Copies of this chain bind each other. A is one copy, B any other.
Amino acid sequence: MEAGWLAGQRGWLDLPSRHVGEWLCDRSRGCRHRLGVRQPGLGRCDSLHRSGQCSLAGARAAVGFAQPGRGEAAAAVRRRAIGRLGPNPRRMGREPETLRMITVYGFSPSGNCHKVKLLLEQLGRDYNWIETNSAIGETRTPAFLDKNPNGRVPIIELDDGRVLAESNAILCWLAEGTAFLPADSWQKAQALSWLFFEQYSHEPYIAVARFICGWTPGDSPRRADLPKLRERGHAALAVMEKHLASNPWFTGAAYGIADIALYAYTCVAPHGGIALDAYPALRDWLARVEATSSFVPPPAPDAQAQALIDQSS
C-alpha cells in the first residue's frame, strides 16, 4: 500500500501504490511540487480536501501543492505543515512501505550519493544522512560490508534494518508511484534505459575522470587514463545532446529520476577536464534541472580537491 500527500497536511489515503502514479499529473506549469491526492469519490467538503487544490484531467483525483518559498527546502515546508496540523487519525497504525524513515549512507562529494539526497529533498522526505567517506575506506569496514558486500555508497537503510544498494535502484524505489517516474510502461522503460546508460556509458568515464583529477595525488599513475576517459565522456555527452535537441527531459514528458541521475555527474564534468561548451542543449537542460522546485546543488569540492582540480586542467 502507498499513500498520497494531501496538500499542506499529513493526510494519508490508503491507495494501492500503483494508482498514485496513474492519478497524479502535475499541471503547475512544469514546476514540480510535492503532490497530494484525494480519492476520486471524495467531495470538496470531505475532511481530506482543502481549498486551493487543482482538479486533474478526467476528474479522477485532485492535487494540491505545498510550495516551498524561495530558498526553502521542501523538508522545511513539510515539517512546518506537520507541526501545524498534527497526525491524521486515518493514518494511525499504518506505515506505508515506501514512507518508512530512511537512513542514507553517503559521501557528499559523490554524484551517485547526491542523486539520492536531491530526490529525497524534492520528494519532501525526512531522512538521516550518515557521512561515509569512500575515499578513505569507510565503505570497506566490516560493519559497512555487512550492510553492502559490494562496499559502495550510497545505500539506504530502512528503520527495520533492510538495506537497498545502487543509487539508481534507490531512485526507482523512492520514485515509484510519484511523478518522478512515469506510470506508463514504455515511458518508464525509457527512463530505465537512461539510468542504465548513465551507469554504463556515462558515470564510468565522467565520474572517474573527475575523481582522478580531484581525489588522487597529482602524480597518480591513474592520470594516464584521463585522455581515454575524457574521450568516452564526450561520447556520452554527445548522445545526451542529441536526445535533448528534441526532448526537454530524460525521464519522459517531465523531469524525474533519469534527469536526476544524469545531472549528478554531468554538472561537474568540468572537474574532470570535460568541458560542456560544445553542448548547448545540454547546458539548457542543466539550467532547467537547477530551476526545479526544492533543487539542492551538489556541494563544491573542498579546498584540497579544488586545488587538485585546478592543477589538472
Contact = CB atoms under 8 A, between A and B. Distances in A.
Interface string A183-209: 001101110110111011101100000
24 contacts: A16-B18, A17-B185, A18-B18, A97-B185, A97-B186, A98-B185, A149-B238, A149-B242, A149-B243, A150-B239, A164-B189, A166-B193, A166-B197, A167-B196, A168-B192, A168-B196, A169-B195, A172-B189, A173-B186, A173-B189, A195-B196, A199-B199, A200-B204, A204-B204
A176 interface: yes
Given A17-B185, A98-B185, A199-B199, A193 B176 contact: no
A165 interface: yes
Contacts of A239: 149-150
Given A18-B18, A186-B97, A189-B173, A200 B201 contact: no
Nearest to A1: B185
A204 B199 CA distance: 11
Contacts of A168: 192, 196
Name A's interface SS: helix
A162 interface: yes
Interface string A231-245: 000000011001100
Nearest to A19: B18
Interface string A1-38: 00000000000000011100000000000000000000
Interface centre among A98, A193, A195, A199 (most CB of B within 10 A): A193
A187 to B, nearest CB: 10
Contacts of A199: 196, 199-200
Contacts of A98: 185
A17 B183 CA distance: 11
A206 B176 CA distance: 31
A152 B201 CA distance: 10
Given A168-B192, A169-B196, 19 more contacts: A16-B18, A97-B185, A98-B185, A149-B243, A150-B201, A162-B186, A164-B189, A165-B193, A166-B192, A166-B200, A169-B193, A172-B189, A173-B188, A173-B189, A176-B185, A176-B189, A196-B196, A199-B199, A200-B204
Interface centre among A195, A196, A203 (most CB of B within 10 A): A196
A297 to B, nearest CB: 25
Contacts of A196: 166-169, 195-196, 199
A173 B191 CA distance: 11
A189 B169 contact: yes
